Amino acid sequence: MSNSLGKKITFFSLIKYTLPTIIMMILSSLYTIIDGMFVSRFVGSNALSAINIVYPVIYLILGISIMLATGGSAIVARYMGEIKSQEAKESFTLITIVAILLGIVISIVSILFIEKIIYALGSTDVLYEYSYSYLSIMLLCSPVIIMKTYFDYFLVTSGAPKLGLASSILGGIVNVVLDYIFIVLLNMGIAGAALATCIGYALPSIIGLIYFLKKSNTLHFVKPKFDFKVIKESCSNGSSEMVTQLSSSVTTILYNLAMIKMLGENGVASITIILYIQLLLNSAYLGFTSGTSPRISYNYGGNDEKQVQGLVKYSYILIGIFAICSFIISRLSSHTLISIFVSEGSNLYNISLNGFNIFSFSFLICGFNIFTAGMFTAFSNGKVSALISLLRTFIFFVIGMVILPNYFGVDGVWLVVPFAEVATLLISIICVYKYRHIYMYSNLFSKEVLS
C-alpha cells in the first residue's frame, strides 16, 4: 500500500507534513473561541460563564472521539506499515461505527438528565437558562461533533491532511459568519452560538464522510468484521486522550467552584477567557502530535529504526522552538488577547490579565507533555500515555488546587496548571528514558541521526 507516511523524514519535511494538521486543530479550537468572543461581547459575561459551566460535557464528547481516533489510527497506521491493507480498512470502518453509536447514546442519555447535569456542574440559578440553551443544542449534535474530530485524525492517517485543513477552514468561516448572523443580527443569544458551532462542525463531517466512501482512496469504508479486540485496543491506546478530556471536565469544575467562591461569576468568566487562550495554544501541540503520530506508528510497524529516531528527535526540537516562541508572543500580546473578550480597564479585564500573566508559564512546558503522551499512544503503549495525561491534567492539578490557593489566594489558583506541567515533565523525562530501547529511539542523538 503506497502511503505518504512511509516517506523519508527530515526536519523540514516534518514541518511541511504536520503544518496542515496544526492549522486544522487551531481552526477547530477557534470554533469555541469565536463563540466565546461573540457571546462575551453581545450576550454578556454571565452567558460566557455558562458556556464554561457546561463545557465538561463537551469535553466528554470530544474525549470519546479523540480516544477512538488516536487509538484507532495507531492500529490502522500500524497495519498499513505492515502492508495489511484489508485489516486496516476493516478496523477503520468498525471503529467509525462504534464512534457514531456512542455519540447517539451520549446525546439521548444527556438530554434526558440535562437539568440535573447542569446543576451538578456547579451552575447557579442566574446561569441556568444560558447553560440549558447552549448545552441542549450541542447535545443534539453530539454525533456530528464526534465525527468531525474523528475524521480530522483519520484524514492524516489516510495521507490527506490538506483535505482536513481545507474542510476545517470552510467550517471555521461558516461558523464565524453564522455567529454574526445568529447572535448579532437575529439576536438569538447563546443558542445562536451553539447552532453556529454545530453547523461549523457538520460541514467537515460531511466532507470526511464523502472522502472515506470513495473506494479509490487509500483508506475507505468496507464491510467491517466485528472484532472486540480492535475496539478494546483502540480505547486502550487512546485512553490518555480520553483521560485528558475527562480530567479537563473535572478540573474545569474545580476551577469554577474555586472562582465562584473567591470572585463570583466574574471569576468563572476570567477562567473561561484564559482557558480559551490555553485551548488555542494546546491545539497547536495537539495538531502537531496528531500529524506526527501516524508516521511514528507506521514506521514502528515497519521496524524502521532510523525513521522513528528522526521523528522523535525532530519533534522534540520543534516543540521546544514553538514553546519559547508561544510564551514570548503570549506575554507580549497579553493585553490584546484579553481585550478580545472583555473591555480594557474593567474589573473582569484586570482579573483575567493578572491570571494570564501567571498561567502563561505553563505554555513553556505543556507541549513536551502533550507530545510525549501522544508518542506513547503511537507506540500502542496506552498505559504510559494515560499515566502522563492523568498526572498532568488531574492528579498534580488536584494536588496544586488543594495546596497553592491556601498560600497564595487567587494567584495560587492560577499557579496550579504551571505546577502540574512542571511536575509531569519530570515523569515524562523518566518514561522517555526508560523505554528508549523498546521503541527504537535509544540512539536519538547519535551522529547518524543528527546528520
| pLDDT per residue as tens digits for the range 202-213 | 999 999 999 999
What pLDDT sits at residue 451?
Answer: 46
Residues 6+ apart with CB under 8 A from 181: 192, 196
Q: Please state the rounded mean pLDDT for residues 98-119.
A: 92
Give alpha helix (H) positions in 113-160.
114-120, 125-140, 142-157
Q: Which residue has the higher pLDDT, 440 or 185?
A: 185
* pLDDT greater than 70 at residue 353: yes
Residue 240 pLDDT grade (very low, low, confident, very high; cuts 50, 70, 90): low
The per-residue pLDDT for 307 is 87
What is the structure's pLDDT at 399? Answer: 94
Q: DSSP letters of 314-352?
A: HHHHHHHHHHHHHHHHHHHTHHHHHHTTS-TTSHHHHHH
Whether residue 28 is predicted with pLDDT greater than 80 in this model: the reply is no
| Interval 109-129: pLDDT, tens | 999 999 999 988 878 788 899
| Each residue's pLDDT tens digit, 40-52 | 888 887 888 888 7
Closest CA to 88 of 227, 255, 247, 273: 227
Q: Is there a contact between 72 and 234 (Cβ–Cβ < 8 Å)?
A: yes
pLDDT band at 447 (very low <50, low <70, confident <90, very high): low
Over range 376-402, report the average pLDDT. 88
The mean per-residue pLDDT over the stretch 29-56 comes to 81
What pLDDT, on a 0 to 100 scale, did the predictor assign at position 377?
85
> Helix crossing, 366-378 with 410-434: angle to 10°?
40
**Residue 450: predicted pLDDT:** 44
Q: List the grid coordinates of 370.
A: 502533550
351 pLDDT exceeds 70? yes
The mean per-residue pLDDT over the stretch 316-331 comes to: 91
**CA–CA gap between residue 120 and residue 107 (Å, rounded):** 18
pLDDT at 4: 61
pLDDT in tens, 152-179: 888 888 888 788 888 888 888 898 899 9
pLDDT at residue 206, rounded to an integer: 94
Q: What is the pLDDT of residue 2?
A: 46
